[in-house]
């Protein structure tokens, strides 16, 4: 996670230094997300069909190899856009296999009552990496060079692969789609995952609003945030806001080790509505200290909702379809991100950046509360978390 948190900074600086073309960076970044979206459903089927330990081991090993290839091109001074984009695309495709398998493997490792604690630890690690990773990546690029910084990320994947290889094999054998049934094709497995996904009312009620949450949050925050923040402070102000937000994410993900929601989807949605505050603050043009405070408070709601939802997913979905169901949910969520990124610029040019941020904040709040209209969402009970 620390290596992955460094990569956006190290890769961006390295590609810009090597090519001098912002267009190259856009192509490289797009080459990562597109293959991940394309192969995500296949990754979910593989995560249910084969031993998840093996999927995680191979995917991390493959990610280490692709990152090592990018590092080698940069270190040796043989930068080539097609090669870097191709390796980045391979890395994105590999991520499509590791994410569903990681979701599916966690309830195989811990008892249901400890799933939320496990997710809290994972989220805390990830958010801690977000606090320190970007700064570490920038320092590494300046001190030892971007190629060597990416090489360290490659090494982190190889170390992770070594740890995944030590997971208990007996408990993580492949899970057939139906006990005693003959093995079917991958397409049939994906179809079964889709039918299971559609048959869960609370999941359908959560997924559609999640699409709009990601569409109005990720792109507008990342694109409009730096511009609007610079109007009230120096260029470093945006970095301060992001750091404060990361601290909020870390604080709540750690707190979720102890917090129990009796009705996790209902309660986390009610708390999660405060995650709209940063966008609303951007739209209202508040000073940087107030924006940072809103980013911190909003991060608390965002993190609580994320840990609670992951825990419900892993304790209420049958284990033999968990990777496939989670991959479908991830696909809907991830697909919204580039949509929001593409729409933000034109919308800001037409309506104004502040108006777009404010509107996105309102939509975010509505989409967060919308699932509560479904009784199936309100009635989901906690099967995990501290007793």
Task: Write down the mean pLDDT value for the chain.
Answer: 87
Based on its alpha-carbon atoms, the radius of gyration of the chain, rounded to whole angstroms, reads 21
Q: Answer yes or no: do 35 and 98 share one domain.
A: yes
Q: Answer yes or no: do 305 and 244 share one domain.
A: yes
Q: Which two tokens stand for residue 120?
A: 């809290």
Q: Which two tokens stand for residue 125?
A: 């690690």
Counted residue by residue, the chain has a size of 387
Measured between alpha carbons, how far is 188 from 347 in angstroms, rounded to an integer? 41
Q: Answer yes or no: do 327 and 215 share one domain.
A: yes
Q: Which two tokens stand for residue 114?
A: 């400890």
Q: 291-296 — which CB contacts under 8 Å span 24+ positions?
A: 291/229, 291/232, 291/241, 292/240, 292/241, 292/244, 292/245, 293/244, 295/241, 295/242, 295/244, 295/245, 295/248, 296/244, 296/245, 296/247, 296/248
Measured between alpha carbons, how far is 252 from 91 in angstroms, rounded to an integer? 30
Q: What is the three-class DSSP state of 290? A: helix
Q: Answer yes or no: do 361 and 234 share one domain.
A: yes
Q: Answer yes or no: do 157 and 232 share one domain.
A: no
Q: Which two tokens stand for residue 186?
A: 């991958």
Q: Answer yes or no: do 366 and 302 share one domain.
A: yes
Q: Is the pLDDT of residue 36 over 50?
A: yes
Residue 126 CA: distances (Å) to CA of 85, 123, 144: 26, 5, 24
Q: Answer yes or no: do 162 and 278 share one domain.
A: no
Measured between alpha carbons, how far is 40 from 100 in angstroms, rounded to an integer? 8
Ordered alpha helix ranges (H), 76-114: 81-109
Indicate whether 122 belongs to any domain: no
**Element spanning 347, H or E:** helix 322-351
Q: Answer yes or no: do 276 and 205 share one domain.
A: yes
Indicate whether 32 belongs to any domain: yes
Comparing CA positions, the residue from 41, 154, 59, 153 lying closest to residue 102 is: 59
Rounded to the nearest 10°, the torsion over CA 356, 300, 303, 153 is 90
Comparing CA positions, the residue from 10, 361, 345, 334 lying closest to residue 152 is: 10
pLDDT in tens, 286-336: 998 999 999 999 999 999 999 999 999 999 998 889 999 999 998 988 888
Mean pLDDT value across residues 217-222: 86
Q: Is the pLDDT of residue 181 over 50?
A: no
Measured between alpha carbons, how far is 337 from 325 in angstroms, rounded to an integer? 19
Indicate whether 121 belongs to any domain: no
Higher-pLDDT residue of 172, 350: 350
Q: What range does the domain containing 35 cover?
A: 2-112+145-167
Residue with tokens 């608390």: 300
**Close Cβ partners of 247 (under 8 Å, ≥ 6 residues apart):** 131, 296, 299
Measured between alpha carbons, how far is 265 from 342 in angstroms, rounded to an integer? 30
Residue 279's CATH number: 1.20.1250.20
Mean pLDDT value across residues 81-107: 91
Cβ neighbours, 10 Å, residue 165: 15
Of the pLDDT bands very low, low, confident and very high (cuts 50, 70, 90), residue 132 is confident
Measured between alpha carbons, how far is 215 from 380 in angstroms, rounded to an integer? 26
Q: Answer yes or no: do 75 and 208 share one domain.
A: no
pTM of the model: 0.79
Indicate whether 177 belongs to any domain: no
Count of structural domains within the chain: 2
Q: Which two tokens stand for residue 243?
A: 């750091």
Q: Answer yes or no: do 223 and 162 share one domain.
A: no
Q: What backbone torsions phi and psi does residue 111 show, to the nearest 5 degrees?
A: -70, 155
pLDDT in tens, 114-130: 999 999 999 999 888 88
Q: Answer yes or no: do 160 and 201 share one domain.
A: no
pLDDT at residue 280, as a whole number: 96
Mean pLDDT value across residues 63-83: 92
Indicate whether 136 belongs to any domain: no
Of the pLDDT bands very low, low, confident and very high (cuts 50, 70, 90), residue 18 is confident
pLDDT at residue 307, as a whole number: 92
pLDDT in tens, 231-265: 776 556 777 888 889 899 999 999 999 988 999 99
Q: Answer yes or no: do 206 and 163 share one domain.
A: no
Burial of 138 (0-12, 13-18, 19+ CB in 10 A): middle
Indicate whether 130 belongs to any domain: no
Q: Which two tokens stand for residue 334?
A: 């991830």
Indicate whether 289 belongs to any domain: yes
Q: What percent of the chain has pLDDT over 90?
A: 50
Indicate whether 187 belongs to any domain: no
């Amino acid at each position: 996670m620390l290596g992955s948190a460094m990569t956006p900074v190290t890769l961006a600086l390295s590609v810009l230094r090597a090519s001098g073309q912002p267009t190259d960076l856009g192509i490289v970044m797009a080459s990562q997300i597109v293959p991940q979206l394309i192969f995500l459903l296949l990754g979910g089927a593989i995560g249910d069909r084969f031993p998840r330990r093996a999927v995680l081991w191979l995917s991390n090993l493959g990610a280490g190899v692709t990152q090592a290839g990018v590092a080698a091109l940069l270190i040796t001074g043989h930068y080539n856009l097609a090669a870097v984009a191709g390796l980045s695309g391979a890395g994105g495709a590999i991520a499509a296999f590791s994410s569903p398998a990681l979701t599916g493997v966690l309830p195989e490792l811990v008892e249901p009552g400890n799933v939320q604690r496990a997710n809290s630890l994972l989220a805390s690690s990830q958010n801690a990496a977000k606090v320190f990773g970007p700064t570490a990546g920038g320092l590494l690029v300046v001190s030892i060079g971007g190629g060597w910084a990416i090489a360290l990320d490659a090494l982190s994947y190889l170390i992770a692969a070594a740890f995944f290889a030590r997971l208990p094999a007996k408990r993580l054998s492949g899970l057939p789609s139906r006990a005693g049934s003959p093995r079917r094709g991958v397409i049939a497995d994906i179809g079964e995952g889709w039918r299971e996904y559609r048959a869960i009312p609370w999941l359908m009620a959560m997924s559609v609003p999640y699409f709009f949450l990601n569409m109005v949050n990720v792109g507008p925050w990342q694109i409009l945030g730096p511009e609007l923040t610079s109007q009230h402070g120096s260029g470093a102000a945006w970095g301060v806001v992001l750091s404060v937000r990361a601290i909020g994410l870390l604080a709540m993900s750690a707190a979720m080790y102890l917090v129990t929601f009796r009705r996790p989807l209902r309660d986390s949605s009610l708390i999660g509505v405060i995650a709209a505050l940063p966008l609303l603050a951007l739209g209202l043009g508040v000073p940087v200290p107030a924006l940072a405070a809103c980013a911190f408070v909003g991060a608390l709601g965002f993190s609580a909702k994320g840990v609670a939802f992951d825990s419900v997913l892993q304790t209420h979905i049958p284990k033999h379809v968990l990777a496939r169901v989670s991959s479908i949910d991830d696909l809907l969520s991830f697909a919204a991100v580039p949509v929001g990124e593409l729409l933000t610029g034109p919308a800001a040019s037409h309506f104004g950046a502040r108006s777009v941020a404010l509107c996105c904040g309102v939509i975010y709040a509505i989409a967060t509360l919308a699932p509560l209209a479904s009784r199936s969402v309100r009635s989901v009970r906690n099967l995990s978390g501290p007793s």
